Amino acid sequence: MQQMPYYPPGYQAPSPYGSSHLMTADNGLPQLPHPVGVGESNTQSPASGQPAKRKQVKNACTNCQKACKKCDEARPCPRCVKYGIADTCVNSTRKERKKGVKRGPYKRRQKGDGDVSTPEARTPRRKNSPEPATNQYDPQNMRASMPFSYPNGLNQYGQPYDAYSQYQPYMVNPVYSGMPYPIVSGADGQHQGQQGQHQPYAAHPPLPHAQQHSPYNGYQGSPHQQNRSLQSIHSGDAKEEQKPHQPLTPIPSTSNSSAASSPHVNVGTAGANGHAGGENDEEGSRLARLSQLCRAALDQTDTKVEST
């Protein structure tokens, strides 16, 4: 069913299509081993010894975006063409950046301290990466030492900020912390799905696993999480909608892989599991009961251990 991939003008179709280590991406384009595979977007010669950076298109089409697949500037993009969905290949809309986000004082780098001019030398700190040791931006410390603060104990998103829930700006429900729902509308009211035509998302809960692993735990505004929920709903196949969302880490399907088997079962997470929470109260109360049982069992175990 291999269709001739569509290459936009300027795209260098790699010739060794069937080369052993050349996988064909589902966009129909060969996936060369990175970094060579970046095609025309290669900004650096591989001969330079510097790995070329991965080049991204400015705007992926909605289909590729949903599938987390490589897109192209061309419309319809090769992937959509391949899948015969060229008619729905439209640019996704980008969310506008938040404004007014205050920051702490910048740390300036000394001139001699490496090449500051290149982005590579700036060692960008990623969302998930731990703060540098000398970090002055530690959210907790920073708050304390900040010469400014957000008004009235609000965080940057205009939500109440306190030591307990800090950095979980969107978390409102301490019990169902993983369940985003009640708070879907953030202070900025922006995270209601990034695409107008995808309104259904607004009411659909983000996937639990995205929550679990997100440094923005509970932050519904995370575009990626939005995207995920978006994906699952608009992936076009009903099976995805019916299928319970997979756990973050695949759990071996053993007979005792019930919630009760895990004393550390997170009610919030569990509640969100599969149905992304909020689907019904019944589920929630069942889970609450489960956790009660677990706790009781644990207590019993503890007392036994103590008595021995």
Partner DNA sequence: AATATCGGAACATAAACTAG
Partner DNA sequence: TAGTTTATGTTCCGATATTT
Q: Name which of residues 43 to 72 contact DNA (CB under 7 A).
A: 53-60, 64-65, 67-71
Peptide bond into 76 cis (omega under 30): yes
Which of 35/288 has CB closer to DNA? 35
User: In the bound complex, what is the minimum distance in angstroms from residue 308's beta carbon to DNA?
Assistant: 38
**279-298 binders of DNA (CB under 7 A):** none
Which of 120/299 has CB closer to DNA? 120
User: In the bound complex, what is the minimum distance in angstroms from residue 296's beta carbon to DNA?
Assistant: 31
Options 1, 133, 144, 305; binder of DNA; rule CB under 7 A: 1
Options 21, 108, 264, 304; binder of DNA; rule CB under 7 A: 108
**77-106 binders of DNA (CB under 7 A):** 83, 92, 94-106
Options 89, 210, 267, 290; binder of DNA; rule CB under 7 A: 210
User: In the bound complex, what is the minimum distance in angstroms from residue 101's beta carbon to DNA?
Assistant: 4
User: In the bound complex, what is the minimum distance in angstroms from residue 171's beta carbon to DNA?
Assistant: 16
User: In the bound complex, what is the minimum distance in angstroms from residue 295's beta carbon to DNA?
Assistant: 27
User: In the bound complex, what is the minimum distance in angstroms from residue 85's beta carbon to DNA?
Assistant: 10
Other C-beta atoms closer than 10 Å to the C-beta of 117 total: 9
Collect all residues with Cβ–Cβ distance below 8 Å to 238 and sequence separation of at least 6. Answer: none
Q: Is the distance from CB of 54 to CB of 34 less than 8 angstroms? A: yes
Site string for DNA, 180-199 (x = CB under 7 A): ----------x---x-----
- Per CB under 7 A, the segment of 5-13, 232-240, 278-286, 294-302 that binds DNA is 232-240
User: In the bound complex, what is the minimum distance in angstroms from residue 287's beta carbon to DNA?
Assistant: 19
Two structure tokens written together for 171: 């978390």
**164-183 binders of DNA (CB under 7 A):** none
Of the candidates 203, 208, 201, the one whose C-alpha atom is nearest the C-alpha of residue 177 is 208
Single-letter amino acid, residue 144:
A
Of the candidates 170, 267, 273, the one whose C-alpha atom is nearest the C-alpha of residue 222 is 170
Which of 96/162 has CB closer to DNA? 96
Site string for DNA, 124-153 (x = CB under 7 A): xxxxxx-------x----------x-----
User: In the bound complex, what is the minimum distance in angstroms from residue 172's beta carbon to DNA?
Assistant: 18
Distance of CA 63 to the CA centre of its chain: 17
Which of 269/291 has CB closer to DNA? 269
